[in-house]
């Protein structure tokens, strides 16, 4: 008797990624982007093709234990990083969405821009000025929607 859940077939007979594999892949992508590493450079560091990295990030290919350890080393995170939180949530759930948003925020705060923005913003002591900065940033984002959409 197998303890693994069968992979379901989606449209066209293609396998639907297991939610855990998709979550691990999303965490790889998030951390890779946060440190400014391209898929090609990550692939090179791992000795694989960038297409394989793409498949890992989409969750369509599973990652073996030794490869996951290598990924953690290259990305400079503990292996547990890929499983922190509740990775068993399904892809459409609110909790999963909250995890992705929180992970994206954490990745941004580790980036050079995030550190710089956070340091500057923390120096603003006036609550009124802080609120105005937030309004300003929101206005900038809404004024340039084409620059804020991510190409996939």
What's the pLDDT tens digit per position in 51-91?
999 999 999 999 999 999 999 999 988 898 888 764 444 44
Q: Are residues 93 and 54 in the same domain?
A: yes
Q: Are residues 75 and 5 in the same domain?
A: yes
CA angle 51, 57, 63 (to 5 degrees): 90
**Residues written for the chain:** 152
Assign residue 49 the CATH number of its domain.
Answer: 1.10.260.40
Q: Are residues 123 and 93 in the same domain?
A: no
Q: Are residues 35 and 74 in the same domain?
A: yes
Q: Are residues 24 and 91 in the same domain?
A: yes
Q: pLDDT tens digits for 11-57?
A: 445 678 888 898 899 899 988 888 889 999 999 999 999 999 999 99
Q: 54 burial class (0-12, 13-18, 19+ CB within 10 angstroms)?
A: middle
Model pTM score: 0.53
Q: Are residues 102 and 119 in the same domain?
A: no
Q: Are residues 63 and 102 in the same domain?
A: yes
Whose structure tokens read 């440190």?
35
Q: Are residues 116 and 143 in the same domain?
A: yes
Q: Are residues 67 and 125 in the same domain?
A: no
- Range of 32's domain? 1-110
What is the number of domains present in the chain? 2
Whose structure tokens read 């609550």?
127
Q: Are residues 10 and 85 in the same domain?
A: yes
């Amino acid at each position: 008797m197998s303890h693994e859940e069968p992979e379901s077939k989606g449209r066209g007979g293609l396998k639907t990624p297991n939610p855990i594999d998709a979550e691990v892949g999303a965490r790889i992508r998030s951390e890779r982007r946060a440190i400014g590493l391209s898929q090609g450079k990550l692939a090179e560091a791992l000795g694989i093709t960038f297409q394989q990295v793409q498949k890992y990030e989409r969750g369509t290919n599973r990652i073996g234990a030794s490869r996951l350890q290598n990924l953690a080393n290259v990305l400079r995170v503990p292996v547990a990083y890929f499983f922190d939180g509740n990775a068993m949530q399904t892809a459409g759930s609110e909790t999963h969405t909250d995890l992705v948003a929180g992970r994206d925020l954490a990745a941004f705060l580790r980036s050079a821009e995030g550190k710089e923005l956070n340091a500057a913003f923390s120096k603003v002591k006036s609550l009124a000025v802080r609120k105005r900065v937030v309004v300003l940033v929101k206005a900038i984002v809404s004024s340039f929607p084409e620059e804020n959409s991510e190409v996939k």
